[in-house]
Amino acid sequence: MGFWEVTLSLLDGLKYTCLIFALTLVLALPLGLVISFGSMSKFKPLAYVIKTFVWIIRGVPLMLQVIIFFYVPGFIFGTPILSRFASVIAAFVINYACYFSEIYRGGIESIPRGQYEAGQVLGMTKSQVFFKVVLMQVVKRILAPMSNEVITLVKDTALARVIMIVEVIQAAQNFAGYGLMWPLFYTAVFYLAFVGLLTLLFGFFEKKLDYYKI
């Protein structure tokens, strides 16, 4: 087994790592906003239901959630409903949406009332106040905690291997079967490169938003 052969194989696994990462972000970012609105709802029963839901999702290990999404529908309906990959995406999206929702909520609640009132007295509708006045300020406030979550997500993708998705670590693990251990350690390079790229990207966004202070 040569270096290039291993690298190509790990890159094959990286495809899944990237796919899980990207799909989770694209779906969980908006879903998190919806959940945060739910948990801030003035209609108390809804807020309680959502808060309980967030507690359960954040309280159970993500690895277990992946397993539950893949196996439990099978127990109930006799056949698996979701493919391996779809189960992973469903579990990741819901899990990350809950974490994001709490970050959003913190950001939204940190915007002073005066900003809402200034928009209101200028005759803006509630949605105009939120999207044109508040949202950009929230984005600035939550950028640092969000970058933390997003970086964690990169490494959480490795959990997909519990239901035999061949992402980077599982790809390396397959070599261990032939007695090759070094590919496993080699995967760290891929993660480091991935996270390094994201760190640069978030740094760029932070600089972009540097022109104003809240």
Partner 1 sequence: MAIFEAKNIKKSFGKTEVLKNVSFEIEQGEVLCILGSSGSGKTTLLRCINFLEIPDNGHFILNDKLLFDASENVTRTDEEIRQNRLHFGLVFQQFNLFPQYNVLENVTLAPTLLKKGTPEEIDRNARNIIESVGLSDRIEHYPCQLSGGQQQRVAIARALALKPDILCFDEPTSALDPELTGEVLKVIKELKTKNTTMIVVTHEIEFAKEVADKVIFMADGVIVESGTAEEVIVNPKNERTQAFLSRFNTM
Does 15 engage in binding with partner 1 (CB under 8 A)? no
Give just the sign of the alpha carbon dihedral 9, 13, 18, 23: positive
Which listed residue (55, 132, 148, 189) binds partner 1 by CB under 8 A?
Answer: 132
Q: How far is the CB of 114 from partner 1 (least distance, A)?
A: 4
Does 141 engage in binding with partner 1 (CB under 8 A)? no
Instruction: State how far the Cα of 128 lies from the Cα of 136, in Å rounded to an integer.
Output: 12
Instruction: State how far the Cα of 148 lies from the Cα of 33, in Å rounded to an integer.
Output: 17
Which listed residue (112, 192, 199, 208) binds partner 1 by CB under 8 A?
Answer: 112
Does 128 engage in binding with partner 1 (CB under 8 A)? yes
Nearer to partner 1, 140 or 161 (CB): 140
Nearer to partner 1, 38 or 119 (CB): 119
Nearer to partner 1, 90 or 108 (CB): 108
* Residues ≥6 apart with Cβ < 8 Å to 151: 195, 198, 199
Does 121 engage in binding with partner 1 (CB under 8 A)? yes
Instruction: State how far the Cα of 24 lies from the Cα of 19, in Å rounded to an integer.
Output: 8
Does 196 engage in binding with partner 1 (CB under 8 A)? no
Instruction: State how far the Cα of 22 lies from the Cα of 89, in Å rounded to an integer.
Output: 10
Contact between residue 192 and residue 12 where contact means Cβ atoms under 8 Å apart: no
Does 207 engage in binding with partner 1 (CB under 8 A)? no
Nearer to partner 1, 7 or 115 (CB): 115
User: Interface mask (CB under 8 A) for partner 1, residues 34-73, using x and -?
Assistant: ----------------------------------------
Nearer to partner 1, 58 or 126 (CB): 126
Does 137 engage in binding with partner 1 (CB under 8 A)? yes
* Residues ≥6 apart with Cβ < 8 Å to 2: none
Instruction: State how far the Cα of 90 lies from the Cα of 151, in Å rounded to an integer.
Output: 19
Does 122 engage in binding with partner 1 (CB under 8 A)? yes
Does 136 engage in binding with partner 1 (CB under 8 A)? yes
Binding residues (CB under 8 A) for partner 1: these are 112, 114-115, 117-126, 128, 132-133, 136-137, 140, 211-214
